[in-house]
Structure 1
């Protein structure tokens, strides 16, 4: 009943967040049910690899649930104030947010299960028979047990969106280390340099004769162990460097004797670097991997597979939605500062221009990190 009362106060943004979470959970549930259908039709087949293919979309849905749960109190502070006034503590409010996210995942999973059962009722096309496991009995506990993973992952990710138990999701936590702390720059930079050195070592002349190449799934060709390890380390280093690069870009905007536009844009980007760095890094990494796979499939017709392509669309979609909700969270957190600037006589056009300049600067960092990651991934793949 509590969730129904909360839903009565939903606005368009709340409803969109809930529906997007449910839709992502439905797609993840469809992947899990496809793995179940394949296992029913081919009991002796490779069931474990099919389930492993469901881990990337499950991680994407959990990431989406965590970001949306973190942004919820910033979007609806009056709801948090009302629950606090009613006697709800921090843990209970976090449990309510996690339960709301898990409920959206349950609805999405239920819709996917309903479609799965309807299609199994001899109305699906013959091409879907193997994916649905048609012609074999379906144990009642199997889909329920498998689909329980979806709300469990979403709820736990939403509950653990903030590390500090005394701080509610959506309230900015102080970073343990500033953006320009030597450790925050040295460690990822070292990872990137080591990964690049390993990849260059794997690309040296005659490297193809050293060892046996590893065949990659989904028609992505093959690569040596040095290339794969090198790309992984370099991609991780570039991803962790995203936040310091955003802070550096903000400082460069405000360098020297900046105009009010550059000063507002630079200081704002520097302050938002830590909170914006993680979702932008995930989006850049996801786009790089998906674009590299698409390039590989385009260059070798007939190697593309439907499941990896669908998972790539889900990964990019979840990463993009996570960035949007993190931007909404940042905007809500800066609402008071924006109001103070307007009361001091700041022109609204100046604030809009500062937002546009920050967007261009952050987009430049995203293109640089994503492009470098995609370039390294393309170099790691061989045919």
Structure 2
């Protein structure tokens, strides 16, 4: 009953978040049910790789659910205020928000399951018979247990992602954290990047093809050596961890010299938002780099592309992009008091708009650098 009352108060952003979550969950449910259908119609042991293929989109949906849920207290302070006034503590609010996300995933999974059962009723053609497991009895508990993982993972991720000490009204705000990145925190990503780059260069040296056994990559991406694959993974992880520090550096570079108010506001704002934007932008850059590298390989070698990886790539990039938008909305809501104070002091609205545009350009430049470096290393890894 609570969720029905909650839906009555949904605004455009709430409806968009709920609809996107349900749609992404429906696509992941289709992957899971396809793996189940293949497991019914093929010998035992062949279904494990297909189930593993479902993990990346499942993780993408859980990531989006976590980022979107974390933005709820900042975007809907009146809702959190009402729940707090009604006696709901942090644990119950986490359960309520997690249950809201789980309900959306359950609806998306139920819609896909309904379509799956309808198609199994001798409606689908022979090209879908193997994917649906037609002609083989379907255990009643199998699809229910399989699809139960979707709302469970997304709901738990959403509930654990909500931060309360600095978000709930009536609670003392935490002291502002220093936005500088300590050298020790920078040592890990820089070390990972350098080690990964060295390991990948070692695997790409002349004559390295005869050393060791090559690793066959999925989705028709060919084969590569173990050293190259591990090196790229380490370098990509290091570059992703460097995204937030690079954003902070870009924010500090903007007001260098004798800055005008535009550059000063843009630089201060980007430096303050570097930690919040770092993670979603890093995930988006990594996802786009992988998709572009795979598309380049498939274009160069026709006939190797497969429909399932293409759909999964689109879903992962879509979830990463939606997570970036959700984080931007959260940061915008958090900066609203500062923006109101600036406007009350007589700051021209055009100056705030220009500062936001300059921050976007600087963050986009960092994203191009990190994503481009990741894509170049991946292209060399595929040969």
- Would the TM-score normalized by the shorter structure come out above 0.5? yes
Aligned-partner Cα distance in 2 for 1:8–1:128: 39
Q: 2:41 and 2:229 mapped to 1: Cα distance?
A: 34
After TM superposition, the structure 1 = structure 2 runs for residues 19-168 of structure 1, keeping only pairs within 5 Å, are 19-162=19-162
Superposition deviation, residue 70 in structure 1: 0.3
Structure 2: distance between partners of 1:93 and 1:66: 14
Give the equivalent residue in structure 2 for 1:269. 270
Supply the distance in 1 between the matched residues of 2:167 and 2:141 (Cα, whole angstroms): 36
Q: Secondary structure at the match of 1:137?
A: coil
Query: CA–CA distance in 1 between the matches of 2:341 and 2:175?
Result: 22
Name the CA distance, whole Å, in 1 between partners of 2:184 and 2:376. 26
Secondary structure of the residue aligned to 2:122 is coil
Alignment partners' CA distance in 2, 1:174 and 1:156: 28
User: Structure 1 residues 124, 168: closer, same or farther in 2, change over 3 A?
Assistant: farther
Residues 174, 359 of structure 1: CA spacing in aligned structure 2 closer, same or farther, 3 A cutoff?
farther
After superposing the two structures, state which structure 1 stretch, 54-63 or 37-46, moved more: 37-46
Q: CA deviation at 1:157?
A: 0.3
Secondary structure at 2:161 match in 1: coil
Q: Residue 101 of structure 2 contacts residue 155 of structure 2 at CA under 8 Å; is this kept in 1? A: yes
Displacement of 1:179 in angstroms is 4.0
In 2, the alpha carbon distance for the partners of 1:100 and 1:282 equals 24
- TM-score (norm: length of structure 2): 0.96
Contact 2:232 2:381 in 1 (8 A): yes
- 2:67/2:158 contact within 8 Å kept: yes
SS of the aligned residue for 2:151 comes to helix
Measure how far apart 1:21 and its partner are.
Answer: 0.5
Contact residue 184 and residue 244 of structure 1 kept, 8 A: no
Quick one: distance in 2 between partners of 1:35 and 1:322? 27
Distance in 2, matches of 1:173 and 1:200, equals 45
Note the 1:191-340 alignment, pairs <5 A.
191-340=192-341
SS at match of 2:138: coil
d(CA) in 2 for partners of 1:317 and 1:224? 30
Q: In the alignment, is the contact (CA less than 8 A) between 1:35 and 1:47 conserved in 2?
A: yes
User: Do the aligned partners of 1:238 and 1:373 also contact (CA within 8 Å) in 2?
Assistant: yes
Note the aligned Cα RMSD (angstroms). Answer: 1.7
Are 2:376 and 1:375 equivalent residues in the alignment? yes
Displacement after TM superposition at 1:215 (Å): 1.0
SS at match of 1:160: helix
Question: How far apart are the structure 2 equivalents of 1:179 and 1:312?
Answer: 34
Shift of 1:72: 1.1
Distance 2:175 2:218 in 1: 41
Answer whether contact 2:243 2:282 (CA < 8 A) is retained: yes
Task: List gaps (5 residues or longer) in structure 1.
Answer: none
Q: Structure 1 residues 149 and 175, CA, compared in 2 at 3 Å: closer, same or farther?
A: farther
State the shift of 1:175 in Å: 8.9
SS at structure 1 position matched to 2:40 = helix
Point out where structure 2 has 5 or more consecutive residues left out of the alignment: none
Are 2:202 and 2:227, in contact at CA under 8 Å, matched by a contact in 1? yes
How high is the TM-score relative to the length of structure 1? 0.96
In the other structure, the counterpart of 1:347 is 348
